[in-house]
Structure 1
């Protein structure tokens, strides 16, 4: 609850007495298969009570991230993780292969970012009003930063304007590949950029860490032509067919 701006209001709305609870259990996921349901109060994760971890009273995401990291560590090292619910019931979750990045909503902002292991979208991100495939394209751009390890590369090589622009260009180019792998039309990357760019590019005041939106469309379209050829022949696998501009991590 401490991750919300108004924890008491959320507790009242959801009928939660404690500070940590199951947010949701996606259909077919390990949590749903184990019988977890939304709003169940969690008292321990792998034998550790996360309520004892320091946290601010409101708008504090760090403890939530620490819990996710703890779950990941236990799954990696132990092969499963057990949650203890308020009624004393233990629920053991068995892992399945999934995307390594987490996807999160942040607070009252319009931004979108990737930080290596998470893709974070502001609550007021304009892309939420776009068609689903175009929102997927925006998310694919941020996910591309993570799967291409751009943060690690920038840590090692510096965040000069030219280096950041290079990572942004690679993320743009990978967008249609990730869309194709996810079953979306790769052309949605172009449609997203044509919708987003003229409004958010900034014209002569645009960030020099990014190419102009029309240039970005050209880079995306070049990749889309490669994808279309592969779709007709052997299938799309960006790990095999995508050409990196950044060659050393």
Structure 2
């Protein structure tokens, strides 16, 4: 139809560049997601000066619109603690997102609640998709006289093609075989601490998701969110509330 629509990519300072430029200098796209959020926020609000908060799956990114443009970091973006000298949006990132793992600090008398950095599938989402397979296991764990370390946690395959599971070690292959497309409670799946490390390797390879309690579940329990299954989220919250500190 004669449509000229060249592929454009957002750069880390919020500007648009051609796909050819991005292919030649991909490092220029550092922090392009938050930069695009800033540009989008200005378009949606019409504000020239604003503090913009972009809450995603695992992080909350806060940046500033200054006279209609993203405020840039004069010393370049910081990635992994290193200054890159790539001009990009000045941004603060916090490990709080809708899918952030909610955990309790291990081995201390007065543990803090920890958020992230790992991403989990929210229990409310797993409950909506898989129903009884998830809720019946949570109810079983709640009926137990004592809380378990793996309560409220499930493993499920991500659904990637089987060829991506090539090269697994024998223990990884056995564990992967035991996990299916329906979430399986970790207290039924894992029989040793060594298997926990094996499971984490499957997660890091993108083959398996862990489902557990997240801020999205907390939002469902508090009535601030209602798009998934609040009853499953409440079961997860009750299990999390049973966790014990260092004094038992």
Q: Does the alignment reach a TM-score above 0.5? A: no
Would you tell me which structure has more strand in proportion to its own residues?
A: 2
Q: Larger radius of gyration, structure 1 or 2?
A: 2
Q: TM-score scaled to structure 1, two decimals?
A: 0.29
Q: Which structure ranks higher in relative contact order (CA pairs < 8 Å, sequence separation ≥ 6)?
A: 2
Scaled by the length of structure 2, the TM-score of the pair is 0.29
Larger helix percent: 1
